[in-house]
Amino acid sequence: MNILIVDDETDVEILFRQKFRKEIKSGMMTLSFAFSGQEALDFLGQDNPPLVVYVFSDINMPGMTGLELLKKIKERYPQINVSMISAYGDSENYEKAIDSGAKEFFTKPIDFDFLKNEIQDLMAKHKSIKQ
């Protein structure tokens, strides 16, 4: 299962690769990274349909915000699950994200145990759909 992480802070790549080391090594998942909303859309547009099953995006990014990216992904690729992350757990961003189709909303620091459970649920659903 391919997961796309979108965040303008490049050090998140190291963090995610460390937290999902076992899953990556076992071949259960592949992590891809985009460091802007536009880079994420370009990545998703490379394959038709996109090979990504789950997008995990920061909300506060320069240029295209995560909420703008969420809307574009849901318009173009409604089958892709998207979760949002923000340093601020405010109800306005939460409501905008959920109303725009986000599967989940995380606040920093990320609860990686909860995120792993989310991903395992998606993997189980994705596997049952393919069979």
Q: Could you tell me the domains of the chain?
A: 2-130 (3.40.50.2300)
Which of 2-6, 89-93, 123-127 is the least confident region?
123-127
Q: What is the pLDDT of residue 130?
A: 53
> Is pLDDT of 32 > 50?
yes
Q: What is the pLDDT of residue 129?
A: 57
With CA atoms as reference, report the closest residue to 32 among 50, 48, 22, 62.
50
> Is pLDDT of 89 > 80?
no
Query: Looking at residues 85-100, what average pLDDT do you find?
Result: 88
> Is pLDDT of 45 > 50?
yes
pTM of the model: 0.91
